[in-house]
Chains A and B, each alone.
Chain A
Amino acid sequence: MLSFINLLSPYYMYIKFAHVIFVMMWAWSAVQAFTHYLIPAFSAWRQRPDDENAIKRRNWAIERFDDGVLFEHIAFPIVIITGLLLYVLGGWSTSANWLLLKLAIIVVLMIPIEIADYYLAHFGGNKARIRIAGDMQRYENMIQWHWLFFLITTPIIMLFATTIIFLAVVKPF
C-alpha cells in the first residue's frame, strides 16, 4: 500500500486533472440533448398522449438518449476512482468538512441515482433492446418509469451537482 502511494504521489496533479475533466464530462455531457431534444419530445407526448407522431418521436428520443448518456456513465466511475486516489494520495481525511459533505451527497444521492440510471439506460431498461425483443408493454412501462426518473432526479442533480462542485472548488469550510 505504501509503495503504491509512493509510486503515484508525484502524479497527484495529473490525477486531479483527470478527476476534474471527467467531472466536467459527468456533469454536462447530457445536458443539451436532455434539454432541447428529450424534454420537447416528451412534452409533446404529455400533451397529446395518443398522437402517433408524438409517440414515435418520444420513442426515438429516449432510445438515442439511452446511448447518449454513455459519456456520463463512463465518466462517473472514473470520477469516483480518481477521487478516491486523490483522497489517499493527498492524505485527505473526513476532518475536511467540505469533503465530508461532498462525500455525504455522493453516497446518499449520486451513487443511487447513477445505479438507477445505468439500469434504465443500459441494462434491463434499455429501450432499444426491449423493442427488439418485442415486449411493447414493457417498452412503454420503461419509458414511463424513465420519465418519472427524470422528473425526480433533474431538480436533485441541478442543485446537488452544483453544490458538490462548489464545495470541491471553493472549499468553504
Chain B
Amino acid sequence: MITTDFFGYPKLYNRISWAIAIYTTTGIYCFYTAIKYFFHNETSLLAWQPILVAFIFASLLARYIFLMMMFIDGQFYRKKLKKKHVTFDNKTA
C-alpha cells in the first residue's frame, strides 16, 4: 500500500529554514570574504560589524523562508484554497 500523506510538517519546515539560512549566509560570506582576503588582501569584512549584519540577515532569511514554505504548502489558507483549487471533475470536494 502506497501512502500518499506528505512527510513534511511545520516543525520540520522551521528546522529546514534555519539550516538553509545559515548555510546561505555562511556560504556567501565565506566565499566573498575569502576571495577578498586571498586575492585582494582586503580584510574589511573580517570584523564584528559585518558578522553581526550577516547574523541578522540569516535570522530574517530563516523567518522569510519558513513563512514562504508554510504559505506555499497551503498551511495558512487551507479553507480558501480548497474551494478554488479542488475542481470540476470532483464535485464533492
Q: Is the CB of B73 within 8 A of A151?
A: yes
Q: Is the CB of B64 within 8 A of A44?
A: no
Residues of A within 8 A of B (CB): 39-41, 43-51, 53-55, 57, 94-95, 100-101, 103-105, 107-109, 136-137, 140, 144, 147-148, 150-152, 154-156, 158-159
Residues of B within 8 A of A108 (CB): 23-24, 27-28, 31
Q: Is the CB of B20 within 8 A of A44?
A: no
Question: Complex formed: what's the CA distance from A44 to B88 in Å?
Answer: 12
Interface residue B11 (Cβ < 8 Å from any Cβ of A): no
B38 to chain A, nearest CB (A): 10
A117 to chain B, nearest CB (A): 15
What are 11 inter-chain pairs, A to B, with CB distance below 8 A? A46-B73, A50-B4, A104-B27, A104-B32, A107-B31, A108-B24, A144-B7, A152-B20, A155-B68, A155-B69, A156-B20
Which of B8, B72, B78, B81 contacts A154, CB < 8 Å? Answer: B72
Q: Is the CB of B8 within 8 A of A148?
A: yes
Chain B facing A: main interface SS: helix
7 new A-B contacts, CB < 8 A, other than A47-B78, A152-B65, are A40-B81, A47-B86, A95-B40, A104-B32, A107-B27, A152-B20, A159-B61
Residues of A within 8 A of B6 (CB): 46, 49, 144, 147
Q: How large is the interface on B (under 10, 10 to 19, 20 to 34, 35 or more residues)?
A: 35 or more
Interface residue B93 (Cβ < 8 Å from any Cβ of A): yes
Residues of A within 8 A of B32 (CB): 100-101, 104
Given contacts A100-B35, A104-B27, A152-B16, contact A48 B86 (CB under 8 A): yes
